[in-house]
Structure 1
């Protein structure tokens, strides 16, 4: 899924439902200008903002990430993950980079979003916390990560897992200033 396809899909769903950009921004708790940048200027929203947009439109998040409508099982062979998405945050000064590779982009009607996520290290420690509805399961494939979760900090090393409630403000970032790779499964109720 390319950035321009994501913004176009959001705009098409909004227009199909006859919702103004102002109303969608209000219902998704976003700035109208920010929504315009997502729809028209190919600015990639944060995962939390994409979840809010999907909930405000009454669709699952995968609706915007799907390229096909595979009703049966979707198989992704090693090395054939779908092209990367990088989710940004509203704060353009955020220095972290999370590159998402969808593992179920071809599966229609799914309620979970599995990703391989490459986490690039950040030179700064002012991690921005975000929250959204749902739950997340993370398995560290390579390296180590740290997760700010509410007021706590957890270190998760290669082979470790964590299951968390996404409504608690959190941030996932690379530990020890080294890149990491995780399997993340995000569940968001409609």
Structure 2
């Protein structure tokens, strides 16, 4: 992404173009107005779930917030040249785990899937906040180990393992064994 708070700027621009107040967007998305203001002003996003809810409330696809340039044809992402993406923290003050998303298709116009490389930094806390959103996710572990709270179940995956899950079930993905992990995530959210 171009700037540090490019995502927050895009949310605010689209909201303004649609002549919505922060309170109206909060009502439509089911989020609190303060959370939307924090996203717009500081680019602080606790997880993908609020961003997906904002996209739905504004009637745009998730990629709208992540795109820099729109290519109609195929988009090639070379190793080491991934678009710097979005950083999510699971708590507003940033004291828990951090997820660094690197888009693999930020330049692809009209895409229905969002492929990312995600670096998951470990957390010292174990009371992970579960979230839910529309769509489906495919997660492939590139390195390290992850744990996924999914409903009432816990799945442990190591490098080479993968999982395909429904995103509408409460879930959380985090690093296992207090070690950093890297995963490939393909997210599908219906528009």
* TM superposition score category, shorter chain reference: over 0.9
Structure 1: segments with no counterpart, 5+ residues: none
2:13 corresponds to: 12
Alignment of 1:100-179 (within 5 A): 100-179=101-180
1:85 corresponds to: 86
Q: Is the 1:3–1:43 Cα contact (8 Å) retained in structure 2?
A: no
Instruction: Give 1:42 shift.
Output: 2.9
**RMSD between aligned residues:** 1.4
For residues 100-135 of structure 1, give each alpha carbon's deviation from its aligned partner in whole angstroms, at most 9, with x where no partner exists: 111001111111110001111111211111111110
Question: Deviating runs (4+, > 6 A) in structure 1?
Answer: none
1:61 corresponds to: 62
Number of aligned residue pairs:
190
User: Within 1, Cα distance between the matches of 2:85 and 2:11?
Assistant: 18
Structure 2: segments with no counterpart, 5+ residues: none
User: Within 2, Cα distance between the matches of 1:173 and 1:15?
Assistant: 35
2:26 corresponds to: 25
Instruction: Give 1:91 shift.
Output: 4.7
TM-score using structure 1 length? 0.95
For residues 122-161 of structure 1, give each alpha carbon's deviation from its aligned partner in whole angstroms, at most 9, with x where no partner exists: 1121111111111000000001111000000001111111
SS state at 2:118 partner = strand
Instruction: Give 1:93 shift.
Output: 6.1
TM-score using structure 2 length? 0.94
Change (3 A) 1:32 1:58: same
Point out the more displaced range, 58-67 or 20-29.
Answer: 20-29
User: Within 1, Cα distance between the matches of 2:91 and 2:47?
Assistant: 7
